[in-house]
Structure 1
Amino acid sequence: MKSKQITIEVSALKPERILNVLWNNSIYTSNIVKIDLLTIRFNINFNEYKEAESLIKKNNGKVRIVKVSDMIIIFMKLKKKFSLVIGAVMFFGVIYILSNYIWAIDIETQRNLSPFEIRQQLFSIGIKPGLSKSQINVYDIEKKMENINDQILWIRTRVEGSTLKIIIKEKVNPPLTEKTLYNQVIAKMDGEVKRVYSSSGNAIVAPGDIVKKGDELILPIQGREGFEREVKPSGTVIANTFYEKFMEVQVSGEKLQRTGKKNSDIYLSFWGKKIYLKKAINRFDNYDKIEEKNGFFNQIIYFQKKGRNISLDKDATVKESAEKLEGSLRKTLSNDSKIIDRKITVEDISDGKILIKVIFTVEQDIAKNVQ
């Protein structure tokens, strides 16, 4: 039918040879017009255009479409619209399917319970992202959580969209019945007392005394015997305290190190099943494996590691490691603390590895006010 035909122009050194090739492949032409020595124009069926184009190019010819019938244009528009409709239906279908599942758990707690702890307990009773809403009974979850955690006073569980929202009120524990002085100055850690400065109250420790964590340092009374009066104790007790840190280091032999090469798996996770979008082809003999989870779109990264011979100067390595340990300790100390000494011991383990232990002596205020 003419309504299904298109008009094309073919340019080649021998246009007649192109026509013979098309006829030999059962592609029939009509309305053949010779434009010039190298160009001819003719009609072919629209559904045979791709095959004809391939044959023309194989025979060193060039082709272009000159005219397309109205019916073909209408057909292509309908086809495009049909594809859009199918795509839209599939998109909303996927959205509808995904909306029937829980993809996030929002946990709201108060002071003592952490969301991480609650999330682990929910996991133990089978509540996790990716669960179908039909499998969730909010009243059953509330009852099980109250049985698992005795610190829960009240729990409210609701499904909001694709999120399971949990609000928890905690029990308030009764105060300790053990009698405690209203005002105390006690030791917050073990140490050897060096200096005592009492601004209020009577100190009961002196330089050279060894105190333990929780020992009382300054009494809430002041004045000579027989003339004492109750005061709010305060002061500073400077003491030598001790910290032990250690580090394992390899100084000789072969050590596995990252080469910089990596590969990865990328997959979607639905209801405990993995659908891989990309799979690592070449696995490494030795590698670090890191899994990154982000809802249903996840990846596993493999970092290649190869053995490399190392030979480090033991003394320099020990010194450098001790500096690193001291640096990490300083991050945990207050600004007024001072490291005054360190004792280093080195122990050979095996396979060229050594264990470096450092005992740091830190001068700091160990007084803690309790009210």
Structure 2
Amino acid sequence: MFFNRIKSGQITIEVSALMPEKILNVLWNNGIYTCKVVKINLTTIRFNIAFEDYNETEMLIKKQKLKMKVIGKSGMIVLLLNLKRRMSLVIGAGVFFLVIYCLSNYIWAIDIQTKNNLSPFEVRQQLTAVGIKPGLKKSQINVYDIERKLEDLNDQIMWIRVRIQGSTLKLVIEEKVNPPSTEKTLPNSVVAKMDGEIKRVYTTSGNAAVVPGDIVKTGDVLILPVQGREGFEKEVKPSGTVIANTFYEKFMEIQISGDKLERTGKKDGDIYLNIFGKKIYLKKAINRFESYDKIEEKNGIFNKVIYFEKKGKPVNVDKESAIKEASDKLKESLGKTLSNNAKIIDNKATVEDIGEGKILVRVIFTVEQDIANNIS
């Protein structure tokens, strides 16, 4: 009884013929029940049949060489068929995201960042030797164990950090670098750690090798490892302070006229899946911005690209004020990098017009500081 109710349903059909009533007789003679018969015009008739009689009705109408079209459907069976089609879509989407989730539990790429002496190829071979390669499950990877094993395998590694980012295993390696030999220096001498003009020399041990006014280069000897007058020298460990004027150059680009591009606050973006190097877009931006900043956020499989709109805003700045402000900012920036005993005593600014309403402010700072470096 229940299944008969589910199968029940009706289909509304329109038939066009010179004598449309004839098809009703054909259907009745074949045991097909019709209801709600309506004559639309002289050549068209509309009626309802049971859902289960549709195939036989279609065959009989085609046999009579008449034209027909389905106007509507109703009943439980029709609803179930529609749900079945949509359910297939839902199941398909569910399977898709399930596959993506399963793939995201594995490592599919290895990113190795080294410096100059150690090649990523060599590190990759050592990773393979300890059983780490693409396609490995994340739960099988112990990043601290990998760090320890690679440090044991390669004596060129000074420091290593291994982390999992998305579906990528990322390695950042610092290498051991032997300090360069300084050929210009003598053993146990005090040398200049930067170029400068000597202002004052204070020695606590050893003889001064320079006098105020001398120009020295990096590595030049400032205090000798001997003390006493000629003929009465003795070897000592030199030490002291050598004050010199040193020079730093900094520059800044400033726009004083024309249009300056600034963010408007509007943005758009792409969202895509990166599967084995292929991009599958879940959302594609309609990028209609004439000028924009582009920022890409990579996180393994799920990635984003964000576009920030930029528009030109008129700029009209007093040139002298802009130069002074730039000089102050550059001085403040330099001060943060100097030691506590260093003192900025002078600065000279030059300005270069680089076009499009922009200028390049270049400032040379004179800094008085201790340039002595004890070499032992």
Quote how far apart the aligned CAs of 1:114 are. 3.6
Amino acid aligned to 1:194: K
Query: Is it true that 1:215 corresponds to 2:253 in the alignment?
Result: no
Q: Which residue of 1 aligns with 2:210?
A: 205
From 312, 321, 326, the equivalent of 1:316 is 321
Structure 1 residues 247 and 283: CA distance shift in structure 2, 3 A: same
Alignment: residue pair count: 279
Contact in 2 for aligned 1:5/1:45 (Cα 8 Å): no
Contact in 2 for aligned 1:153/1:170 (Cα 8 Å): no
Written as runs of structure 1 = structure 2, the 5 A alignment for 1:291-310 is 291-310=296-315
Q: Which residue of 2 aligns with 1:325?
A: 330
Contact in 1 for aligned 2:185/2:221 (Cα 8 Å): no
Hey, what's the Cα distance between the residues in 2 that align with 1:179 and 1:351? 48
Contact in 1 for aligned 2:104/2:301 (Cα 8 Å): no
Hey, what's the Cα distance between the residues in 2 that align with 1:287 and 1:83? 37
Quote how far apart the aligned CAs of 1:93 are. 5.0
Query: Is it true that 1:2 corresponds to 2:2 in the alignment?
Result: yes
Hey, what's the Cα distance between the residues in 2 that align with 1:184 and 1:247? 39
Hey, what's the Cα distance between the residues in 2 that align with 1:233 and 1:95? 67
Query: Is it true that 1:102 corresponds to 2:108 in the alignment?
Result: yes
Q: Which residue of 2 aligns with 1:364?
A: 369
CA RMSD of superposed structures (Å)? 4.5
Contact in 1 for aligned 2:251/2:361 (Cα 8 Å): yes
Hey, what's the Cα distance between the residues in 2 that align with 1:177 and 1:238? 22
Hey, what's the Cα distance between the residues in 1 that align with 2:351 and 2:179? 50
Hey, what's the Cα distance between the residues in 1 that align with 2:358 and 2:97? 58
Hey, what's the Cα distance between the residues in 2 that align with 1:294 and 1:246? 36
Hey, what's the Cα distance between the residues in 2 that align with 1:288 and 1:314? 28
Q: Alpha-carbon deviations, 1:145-170, whole Å to 9, x = none?
A: xxxxxxx7789xxxx9x777989997
| Aligned partner of residue 336 in structure 1, secondary structure | coil
Q: Alpha-carbon deviations, 1:12-71, whole Å to 9, x = none?
A: xxxxxxxx9xxx99899xxxxxxxxxxxxxxx97657799xxxxxxxxxxxxxxxxxxxx
What are the ranges of 5 or more consecutive residues in structure 2 without an aligned counterpart?
Answer: 7-35, 37-46, 52-73, 82-86, 137-153, 158-163
TM-score by length of 2: 0.60
Structure 1 residues 265 and 50: CA distance shift in structure 2, 3 A: same
Contact in 2 for aligned 1:244/1:358 (Cα 8 Å): yes
Hey, what's the Cα distance between the residues in 1 that align with 2:91 and 2:308? 44
Tell which deviates more after alignment, 212-221 or 166-175.
166-175
Q: Percent identity, aligned pairs only?
A: 57
Written as runs of structure 1 = structure 2, the 5 A alignment for 1:158-197 is 181-197=186-202
Quote how far apart the aligned CAs of 1:88 are. 8.9
Q: Alpha-carbon deviations, 1:85-109, whole Å to 9, x = none?
A: 99997777556656675234467xx
| Aligned partner of residue 326 in structure 2, secondary structure | helix
Structure 1 residues 242 and 173: CA distance shift in structure 2, 3 A: closer
Contact in 1 for aligned 2:258/2:316 (Cα 8 Å): yes
Hey, what's the Cα distance between the residues in 1 that align with 2:182 and 2:370? 30
Structure 1 residues 48 and 179: CA distance shift in structure 2, 3 A: closer
| Aligned partner of residue 355 in structure 2, secondary structure | coil
Structure 1 residues 314 and 26: CA distance shift in structure 2, 3 A: farther
Q: Which residue of 1 aligns with 2:232?
A: 227
TM-score by length of 1: 0.61
| Aligned partner of residue 349 in structure 1, secondary structure | strand
Find the structure with the greater CA-based Rg.
2
Amino acid aligned to 1:265: D
